[in-house]
Every structure is written in structure tokens, then in C-alpha cells.
Amino acid sequence: MVRSRDLDSPYQAAIERSLTTIESEKMAKAHYACPECGQSILVIGQNRKDADRRADRYEKTGRVCADCERKQRQTDYRAAAAANREAGLAPIQSGSDAQILWAEWLRHHALKDLVAAVAIVAGETDYPEEIHDAETQRLAQNANRLVRALGPDAEASRALLAIAKKQLSASWWIDMRGGDIGDLASSLKQHVREALRPVPPPEVETATILQPPQPTVLIADLSWRNGVLVAKLEEKNEGFIQAMRILGYSWSAPLWQRTPFAGEPADLLAESAHHLLASGFAVRLHDPAARAKALSGAFEREGLRWITGGTTTHAGRLVVTWPRHDDFYDAARSLPGSRYRDKRVSVPAARFEEVLDFAETHGFRVHKSALILIDKIRAQLAAGGVIDVPLGNAEPVIVNLPEKPPALTPVVTDIDPDLVD
């Protein structure tokens, strides 16, 4: 039989009607009334019993006729378009009226799933630890697909969401209708990279340059961009590379960058500036507040040793993070239940007492995400109870076995003549 998905528009509907007519002449028929408009709906079955059974099921489930279904679909499309306007999204601009309306509906549902996935990756919503229903499973799968496509960086996921909201072509959303969150992320991955690529700051007055005790022409640019600390030196210098690594920066040509765990931008910039000045480099700061704090030394240190709440592959666990120049691997792996994955050591959240002792001993700071997870575990433990289960007086089962197995006596027999070669 020719399937509708194998047919090309505009002849698809006509051919389907012809096939339905041909088949209906050979098969049993039944009818039921549309619950919306009362129109009689034809149901075709393999035989009379099958046709009646289908009609009864369609009637009980409230299945409407094709005309009412088309009207309901148009209502849903318009509601989705209105919801997009309320969310502050610009209307889709390219395509026919029908394509635009359909694309608005597709965009509404795709962005709804993307927003939920980004919230999980960013730690704003708890990662589903247990799958209780299909919806929870779908949310977890979307978050995993997003991480596989862009990595665990929350900034990348937020950038993807912002870029997806700006897609105003009806054909783009229609082409994406068969994909999932991972396909959407992969299609916009290059745009995300460009959005996250730091832009060199504009040239500023020389008054913003801070010099170390021994003035130098090696001037490092420090700036803050979209939640990322950015540093740059115009020439290659091993001392600068070492300083960047100690501060936890990573190279992303043509700049060094680092996403901090916590802290205000001015404090973070001033802390990096102080370290570079102590290493003998001049620093150009573009933030007046950071410059003032660097000059006065009155800034709050972020610290590079952290206990954080895990996401994605470390969900429900406490993650131990330290800078490259430190080595706490053996100490962290000695924690009960620890494991090493994705270049990080994590510990079950239920072991928070041992983790907090570890943090106090080795000078680690505890991030807000870890405190939230610890409070959650404490609340679960407090809400529970202790059950006193008696052990009873059961006697152990003793199996009597001989101390020495009995000896076997060999029996010598002749070879059967039929078996002799």
C-alpha cells in the first residue's frame, strides 16, 4: 500500500482520498458523531466487529472530525504565537502565513523544552535523580543531549537559548521539527562559539595602566565579559603563561579566560591584577571599580579551591575542584564513595560531613550550590526515622561434611575390540 508519507504534495490528499475510497468499498464501515460539531464520521475496520470497536473507542476518547481537528490545530497555533509575543519574542518574519503560524507553534514548544534543559544544566533546577514518569525522563534526556552538544558550561547553554530566540525564519523552525534539543544545539553550535568568543577591549587611556614596583612594558589587559574573566598579553611570555595557569585561566585563542565560581566582577578583576602585578607585569584595567580596589587592596578574594554541587554526570554529588598548581587528588579520592570523572572528583552528598571536614582542613570554600544540596540531604535525614529491627535468636545452620573425601578404587578393564584401531 502507498503510505501518505511517501507521497509528494500537492497530490497527497487526493491520492489518499482515492485509496480510502477503494479500501472502504472492500471493508466494513461504522459511524459515530463528532463531539464538537455532530458531523457523522466514517470509521473503516477489517470486519463489522472491528469497525464497531474502533468507532466506539473513538467516540469514548472524544476524537473529532477532520474539520474540527483542523480548527483546533489553528487555535493552538494562534495561542502559541500569542504566548511567544507575551514572552517578548519577535514575530517570525519570513514564510507564508500558514508557515509562519506553524513555525510559531514549533518555536513555542522547542523553546519551552530548551528553557527547562538550560535550567538543569545551569543548576537552577535540580537534575532528576530518579525517573518516575515519561515527562521526567524526557527532561533528563534533553539536559544530557544539551551537555553532549555544548558541554557542561552553563554560559554556552544560555547563549544557545538567546540565539535560538532570535531565529525568525519559518523554514528554519519547520526544518528542525523532527529533531531534538541536541540537534537544535548542534545546528547553532558555531553561533554559540562566536557569541562566547571574547572581544578585545577598546584602547583606553594610559592612566588605566597599573605598574609593578619595577615598571615594565609587558602590559596585560584584564576585562570582564559575560561572566568570564578575560586576560591578554600582546607577546608570548612564559612567566605570564605560568601566572595565568596558577590563576586558573585557560587558553582560548587569542585570549586567556576563566569562569569564576563566585564573586563580584570588580573583586575578581582586582584579585587577578594583584597577582599579575606581584609577578612583575603591568596591568590595564578597564573597570573603574576594579581599578580602585586594585589600588587600595580592598577586595574580597575568590579563592580557587571549591566544593560545589554537581550537575549532569555528577548530579546529586559534591564536586571537589582545585587549581592546576595544587594537587589534592589523593586526598579527595580518599573521601568515602569518591569517584573521578570528567577531570573532577565527586563524593556522594550523603557524605557531606566528611567533605566539610576535608574543606576545613585543606582551605576549600563551599559554594552556594553545595550548601543547597547539603541542606536538602539534611532535611531528608531529619524527616526520616530509625527502625529498631530485632536480630532474633536464630541458630546458625551447620552442614556436616566428611573431614576427608573417600578414596576411589581404580577398576581395570579391557578395551572393547570394536574400538581398537
pLDDT in tens, the chain (421 residues): 333 343 344 445 555 555 555 455 567 888 888 877 888 888 888 888 888 888 888 888 888 788 788 888 888 888 888 888 888 888 887 778 888 888 888 888 888 888 888 888 877 776 655 556 677 778 778 888 888 888 887 888 888 888 888 888 888 888 888 778 888 888 888 888 888 777 665 554 444 788 888 889 999 999 988 888 999 998 989 999 998 988 888 888 889 998 887 778 888 898 899 889 989 999 998 888 888 888 888 887 777 788 888 877 788 899 998 877 788 899 999 999 999 987 789 999 999 999 999 999 988 888 888 899 899 888 888 887 656 656 555 555 555 655 666 666 666 666 666 666 5
Amino acid at 420: V
Q: Residue 181 and residue 188: Cα distance in Å, rounded?
A: 11
With left for phi above 0 and alpha for psi between -120 and 50, is residue 343 left, alpha or beta? Answer: left
Mode of pairing for the β-strands spanning 365-366 and 209-210: unpaired
Same domain, 59 and 97: no
pLDDT, residue 230, reads: 93
Residue 341 DSSP SS3: strand
How much is the pLDDT for 2?
Answer: 33
Do 103 and 134 lie in one domain? The reply is: yes
The length of the chain is: 421
Per-residue CA distances from 192 to 54, 73, 116, 207, 221 (Å): 49, 33, 18, 35, 24
Axis-axis angle for helices 238-246, 265-278 (nearest 10)? 140
Residue 235 parent element (H or E): none
Domain with 278 in it? 206-296
Task: From 149, 175, 196, give the residue that closes a domain.
Answer: 196
Per the domain annotation, does 95 fall within a domain? yes
CB 164 within 8 A of CB 144: no
Q: Which of 188, 166, 165, 170 is nearest to 111 (CA)?
A: 165
| 89 and 192 together in one domain | yes
Name, in order, each residue with C-beta under 8 angstroms of 145's C-beta and a sequence gap of 6 or more: 117, 180, 181, 182, 185
Residue 377 falls within a domain, yes or no? yes
Stated pTM of the model? 0.40
Residue 194: enclosing H or E segment and its boundaries? helix 189-196
Other C-beta atoms lying within 10 Å of the C-beta of residue 395: 5
Do 292 and 323 share a domain, yes or no? Answer: no
* Cα-based distances in Å from 366 to 278, 319, 386: 27, 10, 30
Q: Same domain for 24 and 104?
A: no
Q: Centre a 10 Å sphere on the Cβ of residue 23 and count the other Cβ atoms it contains.
A: 11
Do residues 95 and 192 both lie within one domain? Answer: yes
318 and 337, same domain (yes or no)? yes
C-alpha cell at 242: 605560568
How many whole angstroms separate alpha carbon 324 and alpha carbon 151? 20
User: Within a domain: residue 412?
Assistant: no
Cα of 100 vs its chain's centroid, Å: 29
The answer to whether residues 190 and 212 belong to one domain is no
Position 282 in a domain? yes
CB 307 within 8 A of CB 359: yes
95 and 177 fall within a common domain: yes
- Is residue 89 within 8 Å of 165, Cβ to Cβ? yes
88 and 169 assigned to the same domain: yes
Location of C-alpha cell 487526493 = 14
Total domains in the chain come to: 4
What per-residue confidence (pLDDT) applies to 414?
66
Give φ, ψ of 117 to 5 degrees.
Answer: -65, -40
Distance CA 248, CA 167 (A): 35
Same domain, 95 and 149: yes
Whether 128 and 139 have beta carbons less than 8 Å apart is answered as yes
Pair 151, 210 in one domain: no
Does any domain span residue 250? yes
- Residue type at 122? A
